[in-house]
Amino acid sequence: MKSAASVVPKRTVLDEYIAPTTIVLFLALQGTDRLLPIAWAILTFGSLLTALRGGIDFQRRVSPIEKGLGVALAACLLSAAFGLDAQRSLLLSVPVLASLLLWLLIARGSHAQPRFFSVAMGLAFAAGLQSVCVLLAAQRHPEMPPADWVADAGAAWLVVPNDMAWIACVLPLWAVMARGRSLLVMLGLLAGFLVLCAFMQSRTAAIVTTAVALSFASAYLGARLRMLIWAAAAGVVILVSVVAFNAASMHARLQLWAAAWSMFLDHPWSGVGIHNFVLAYRQYRPAAELIDSRITPWPHNLPLEIAAECGLIGVFALFFLAGSLVRQAAALWRTGIGSVHRAALVGLCGLALLALVEASLLRQWFWLLGTALCALLENNAQFSGKQKNEQ
């Protein structure tokens, strides 16, 4: 009888390129509508081939981050089962399946090197492709507002101009690739992306980009200067928030936040079901009091969205996952945090900012980008541990 070790085929040098190539091609291609089927096919085939060739470590002990993600996934399934429309919840949860495969390739790959370069390059191609699509739409219809450019771009990740803010969370990864010139590269990326934010008229993207860049740059400065920068950044965020409070879009957000909170109070345990906010929110928004006439199917606040759609089980899962990430960050900080870890953590902080005003469980970029950043923390931590054991 053959042993378990003999069942797994002997790995070759070519096998080491299957997972990285799959990650790069999937992340690069899935950001546009036309290439999305090809991206899915590549991810499915690449993941299956990697697993068959013994490239995924299924035997490693479950990590704290994986426990947090598992609890979050269980909360989503429970909310779907007891929600208003289970079929709708499941049909709109396709990005969750992609996130699972992506996690296996990045975090559980049985490889000799971390997947940082693959993730950074794949997201760079996706950002470039989406930016080109939006700019081409603007060239075709210069008289249209940015929201119409985004709608005409055919980019799967983009629904409104603020969705471009996901790119801000990846800037630290690209800056780290420059190694000794990371700070200079970050300043260049900041300047270039702020121009794009101004062109798209997205205040949210500009604020998040600036916050991410300052957080990343502060690691290269002294303690006093770092505190000064953080205080200045906090002051700017508060000032912008006060100014934006009187905008029509902010009044619409306040209405949506109130609707989400009322929805949570009416469905406190399992919510209305993941992705089902749009099915119930209109009854909480009196037509006579509407300030913004747009039909907005998400609350523009992720914690409130989770509370409304997944109830208390979702809120518990959110805090459990956040606690897992904080514990991982604390462990990395004690053992000596690396540049990739720092970049991933700063990117996750950018996602947290977006979660307060824009991010939604309906967005592909939230699932895939969040999974990639969390997986980099896991993958590079495992790689660092192997290096220390070998030494």
Q: What is the mean pLDDT of residues 206-214?
A: 86
Least confidently predicted of 67-71, 75-79, 208-212: 208-212
Q: Using CA atoms, how far apart are residues 266 and 260, in angstroms rounded to an integer?
A: 10
In contact, 71 and 320? CB cutoff 8 Å: yes
Please tell me the pTM assigned to this model: 0.89
Instruction: Give residue-wise pLDDT tens across range 296-316.
Output: 678 889 999 999 999 999 999
pLDDT at 223: 67
CB distance 130 to 32 below 8 Å: yes
Q: Which two three-digit tokens encode residue 209?
A: 């980009």
* Polymer length of the chain: 391
> Mean pLDDT in the chain?
85
**What confidence category does residue 391 fall into, taking pLDDT thresholds of 50, 70 and 90?**
very low
The model's pLDDT over 127-178, given as tens digits with 9 standing for 90+, comes to: 999 999 999 999 999 999 999 999 899 988 898 899 999 999 999 999 998 8
Q: What is the DSSP string of 274-325?
A: TT-HHHHGGGGS-GGG-SS-S---S-S-HHHHHHHHHHHHHHHHHHHHHHHH
Instruction: Check pLDDT > 90 for residue 10.
Output: no
Q: Enumerate the domain spans of the chain.
A: 65-108+160-390
Express as a percent the part of the chain with pLDDT over 70.
84
Structure tokens at 123: 């997201």
pLDDT at 111: 63
Calpha distance 140→223 (Å, rounded): 49
Q: C-alpha angle with apex 35: 30 to 37, nearest 5 degrees?
A: 85
